[in-house]
Structure 1
Amino acid sequence: MSDLTPASVAATYFDALGRGDVPTAMAQLSPQVVWHQPGANRFSGDHTGIDGVGALIGGMMEVSVGSFRLDVAGAAMVNGALVAVPVRFSGTRAGSSMDMAGVDLLTVRDGKIVEVHLFSEDAAAEDAFWGQA
């Protein structure tokens, strides 16, 4: 059992993402993490393991030509192992842009993020931005 709290793990994860420190952010994930990407676009569905999540994030950065950004938009809310964080995410690509609110819901156990559920304020606009494979 880790001394890390779900809130501290989430804070480390989001702080690292905000600094562009992907290795530190990825280090907060369990090797068996399950990432649930919403919508009906090329990235939608479940992504498992650090390699699967890394491929997802790498693909998003590639499609957005490195412009994809995620910022914390409010205080984290904790309920046991669950941490809900209001976020704002944006990106641009080939004459298209996206900028919307969302919620990232992390499940943290034994000091690692074991599951991630993402929620978008406008699923249709997000699907249009990411497009199909």
Structure 2
Amino acid sequence: MESITTLTVARRYADAVSAKDFAAVAGMFAEDIVWHQPGDNAVSGTYRGMAAVNGMLGAQMAATQGTFELRLTGDPMVNGALAAMPVRFSARRDGAEMAMDGVDLLRVEGDKIMEVWLFSADQHAEDAFWGAG
């Protein structure tokens, strides 16, 4: 049963992010969510709590003037409470463009996302896009 719930939450999350429905995304987060943003750039780091995560996501959307996009490139893969999702993400910012593959890994409990790890195919390019931390 747990993997069905995990898969359902992962798909709902991917659909909401793709639709840029960030109110729905925020509603899927546990109050004490932990988000691991990779790299060495202005948005890198570990964010703890719904307010911190939503603030970081809002800052990304503001910096990219809403051009940040993410879509699934394959089906989510589930192992118990974990869901790995192959994604393609892109954005434009200050004349720069970024588009690459990645993996979003979610840890789900019940119907809430407890923890998120992001992986980028070209972390150096992503770091350059977001700028120094």
Q: Match of 2:63?
A: 63
1:29 alignment partner AA:
F
- Structure-2-length-normalised TM-score: 0.94
What is the identity, as a one-letter code, of the residue corresponding to 1:9? V
SS in 2 for 1:87: strand
Aligned residue in 1 for 2:106:
106
Which residue does the alignment assign to 2:25?
25
* 1:19-98 alignment, distance < 5 Å: 19-98=19-98
Structure 2 residue runs of 5 or longer lacking an equivalent are none
Stretches (4+) displaced over 3 A: none
Q: Secondary structure at the match of 1:5?
A: helix
Q: Deviations over 1:72-98 (max 9, x none)?
A: 111100000000000001001122100
Equivalent position of 1:120 in the other structure? 120
For the residue of structure 2 that corresponds to 1:53, the secondary structure is helix
Aligned length: 132
SS of residue paired to 2:102: strand
Q: Unpaired segments of 5 or more residues in structure 1?
A: none
Q: What's the CA shift for 1:19? A: 1.5
Over the aligned positions, Cα root-mean-square deviation in angstroms equals: 1.5
